[in-house]
Amino acid sequence: MSTNAYIARQPIVDGNHQLMAYELLFRHSAQAESARIESDVDAGITVISNTLCNMGTDWLLKGKLAFVNMEQSMLMSSFSTLLPHNKVVIEVLETVDVSREVLDRLAELKQAGYRFALDDFHYLPESAPLLPLASYVKLDVLAHSPADLARMVGQIRKYPVKLVAEKVETPEQFRHCRQLGFDYFQGYYFARPETMVAKIINPGQATVIQLMEKVRREADIKELESLFKKDVALTFKLLRYINSAGFGLSCEVQSIRHAVSILGMQPLYRWLTLLLATAGGSPTSPALSRTAITRGRLCELLGKQILPRGDQDNLFIVGVFSLLPAFLEMPMEEVLERVVISDALADALMDHGGIYGPFLSLVEAVESGDQAQLENLSSALMLSPGQVSEAHLQALAWVEQLGLD
């Protein structure tokens, strides 16, 4: 399985060429200029998974809206509600049947705050019931003559929707569409789709399945937290997801326990289902995962003797995340662009600074066996070398009990 995630994004602009949104498009490689789709469902799941789990909406969208294509089964599934409603416009594909069931589902999603764009729309009696539910209508400029395009614009203008001209390829087409009253524009005249690439760190399928079972029977949050702590990839993806702009939280969520309690059991189950559907059979390097989890646990145990519970949770994250550059094969600066964390965590990860940085430095000294550095750093934290050694043994024993490969 590929170790990279791919999504193409094509700008959607207003009449002054100002960026309003991106349409997100499935890609199977960095070189692909179009989608090689074997299954619309798989393509949809991959786009949602890459947006939420592997790239993150903040890094991918830079504060703009995302137009995401959905075929009928995806639209009717719970996967559609994983996307943040304030960041996403769901593109209802022209292949969707305009049935009572579909109209009811769109009304339900609209009530939950989602907006819709009707993709490649043709004004026909059977498709007209979609218009009162839509916020945007996309018309393919290349598929219609100028006269037909003008006629369709006149028909659609009776509804409170924004018009998007797609496949605009020449200045003349842009001018004509603007004269017709289109609000937004998309096509090669403005920009070709740009493929975004992100390194994937995959969670272990066994851990995801265990978590799903515990969530299904509404296990205690402590049980869920202990499973998350077994898997670096899961911890990273959960905190990036919960801290994405779509949740609109006033402060960063820094601990696994806090993230699980905010997300809730049903949304967590849907998110885990998405991960299971897109994860490969092989998790991230077991040896590196083991080192990261041991480092996180040791940071946590050292802080237990000095800091309150909330800070101990943060120390676990600092320890684990300190090895993300090795997982993702990129500098820490780029890693921190992909996940929203507090300044205190970022200071520790970037410069070993702030309240948590000295603990990370001490743990690294333990790993390197630098006795002089270990004594200096432990003394600065008012810990004895004996306390540090005992915490190290406890961390190793704890990781052993997790049963990691």
Express each pLDDT in 297-319 by its tens digit.
899 999 988 898 878 878 988 99
Distance, CA of 100 to CA of 118 (rounded, Å): 17
Copy the structure tokens of residue 384.
Answer: 């004895």
Q: Which amino acid is at 105?
A: R
3-class DSSP state of 205: helix
Give the chain's length: 405
Question: 3-class DSSP state for residue 156?
Answer: helix
- Return the pLDDT at 282: 47
pLDDT in tens, 284-295: 566 777 788 889
| Confidence (pLDDT) at 141 | 94
User: Angle 221-228/256-263 helices, nearest 10 degrees?
Assistant: 120
On whether the CB atoms of residues 19 and 7 are closer than 8 A, the answer is: no
3-state secondary structure 109-150: HHHCCCEEEECCCCCCCCCHHHHHHCCEEEEEHHHCCHHHHH
**Distance of alpha carbon 143 from alpha carbon 122, whole angstroms:** 10
Look at residue 45 and tell me whether its pLDDT is greater than 90: no
Q: In one letter, which amino acid is 283?
A: P
What's the DSSP call for residue 159?
S
All CATH 3.20.20.450 domain ranges in the chain, comma separated: 4-198
CA distance 288 to 273: 25
Q: Using DSSP, how many helices (H) and how many strands (E) does the chain show? A: 19, 9
What are the pLDDT digits (tens) for 200-236? 666 676 677 678 778 877 888 888 888 888 788 888 8
Confirm if 26 and 37 have CB atoms less than 8 A apart. Answer: yes
Can you list the alpha helix ranges (DSSP code H) found in 34-95?
Answer: 40-49, 57-61, 72-76
Between 129 and 46, whose confidence is greater? 129
pLDDT tops 60 at residue 28: no
Answer for the pair 140, 153: CB distance below 8 angstroms, yes or no: no
Contacts of 150 (CB under 8 A, 6+ apart): 180
What is the pLDDT, as a whole number, of residue 138?
96
Q: How far is CA 324 from the centre of its chain?
A: 16
- Give me the chain's average pLDDT, please: 82
Q: Which residue in this structure is represented by tokens 């703009």?
A: 64
How confident is residue 388, by pLDDT bands cut at 50, 70 and 90?
very high
d(CA 35, CA 223) in angstroms, rounded, equals 41
Instruction: Please report the pLDDT score of residue 325 as a whole number.
Output: 87
Nearest residue to 135 (alpha-carbon basis) of 186, 88, 203, 72:
88
pLDDT band at 9 (very low <50, low <70, confident <90, very high): confident
Please indicate whether residue 287 or residue 31 has the higher confidence score (pLDDT).
Answer: 287
Residue 37 is predicted with a pLDDT of: 45
Domain covering 4-198 in this structure, CATH number: 3.20.20.450
Query: Is the confidence at residue 59, as pLDDT, over 90?
Result: no
What is the percent of the chain where pLDDT is above 90? 37
SS (H, E, C) 331-355: CHHHHHCCCCCCHHHHHHHHHCCCC
Residues 238-247 pLDDT 10s:
887 787 655 6
Position 279 scores a pLDDT of: 55
Instruction: Specify which residues 65 forms β-bridges with.
Output: 21
Q: Give the tens place of pLDDT for each residue, 152-176.
A: 999 999 999 999 999 999 999 999 9
Q: pLDDT tens-digit profile of 181-199?
A: 999 999 999 988 887 776 6
